[in-house]
Amino acid sequence: MAKFEKGNNFGNRFQKGFSGNPNGRPKSAIFSDVLRGQLSESGDLELIAASLISKAKRGDLEAVKIIFERLEGKPKQFIEADLNVSQDWKTYAETYNLSIDEILNEARRLLTDGSDDDDDERTIN
């Protein structure tokens, strides 16, 4: 039985909401901890922050970006996706000389029984 076929319990090995690796990789923040300690003890942290603010005030956009990312978090990245697949179906129909009804019937068959004949000449990889 293939890994993702109906009736396969492969996906039921893990409980929903629980990690498969509860301990995970140990965090190694040793360098960060030492750096924070040194900066806070020496007072350099305040000097660095003041320097960054001064650069931002003079128009340094990289300094402005750093400040806003630290205060507000990085902005969300948006990705545009063209979900109009009608042209793909049209091309598929023309390539295999099929009617839209034949394509819909094939799609229904695949959705209901979950199988795909690998030796079918119309299968696209």
Looking at residue 124, what is its pLDDT? 47
Q: Which residues, including other chains, have CB under 8 Å from residue 68's CB and lie 6 or more apart?
A: none
Judge contact between 4 and 114, C-beta under 8 A: no
Looking at residue 97, what is its pLDDT? 83
Looking at residue 65, what is its pLDDT? 92
pLDDT digits (tens, 9 = 90+) for 23-38: 777 666 788 888 888 8
- Average pLDDT value for residue range 83-104: 75
CA proximity to 116, closest of 32, 6, 34, 31: 6
